[in-house]
């Protein structure tokens, strides 16, 4: 879901995911892409719901030349 949100989804549109067997689901929403040097980067929000409890994390990831995305720490 994170890869789909970062690579393909317009800014502000969420990508939902779920694991019915585990009772867990969530959504990843990426912001507008921007450039850092020669890399495309995006901030994102990842919300996870489990057992009626929702947690949200925010991060930034940059796209590598091979097409993968690396979270910044």
pLDDT at position 73 over 80: no
Distance between first and last Cα of the chain: 20
Better pLDDT: 44 or 22:
44
Q: What is the structure's pLDDT at 10?
A: 97
Q: How far is CA 33 from the centre of its chain?
A: 12
Q: What is the structure's pLDDT at 54?
A: 96
Query: What is the dihedral angle through the alpha carbons of 61, 64, 31, 13, rounded to the nearest 10 degrees?
Result: -110
- Render pLDDT for 26-56 as a digit per residue (tens, 0 to 9): 999 999 999 999 999 999 999 999 988 999 9
Q: What is the structure's pLDDT at 56?
A: 98
**Which sequence spans correspond to the domains of the chain?**
2-71
């Amino acid at each position: 879901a994170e890869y789909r949100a970062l690579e393909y989804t317009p800014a502000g549109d969420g990508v939902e995911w779920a694991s019915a067997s585990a009772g867990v689901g969530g959504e990843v929403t990426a912001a507008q892409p921007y450039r850092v040097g020669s890399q495309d980067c995006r901030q994102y929000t990842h919300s996870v719901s489990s057992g009626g409890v929702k947690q949200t994390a925010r991060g930034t990831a940059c796209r590598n030349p091979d097409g993968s995305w690396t979270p910044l720490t």
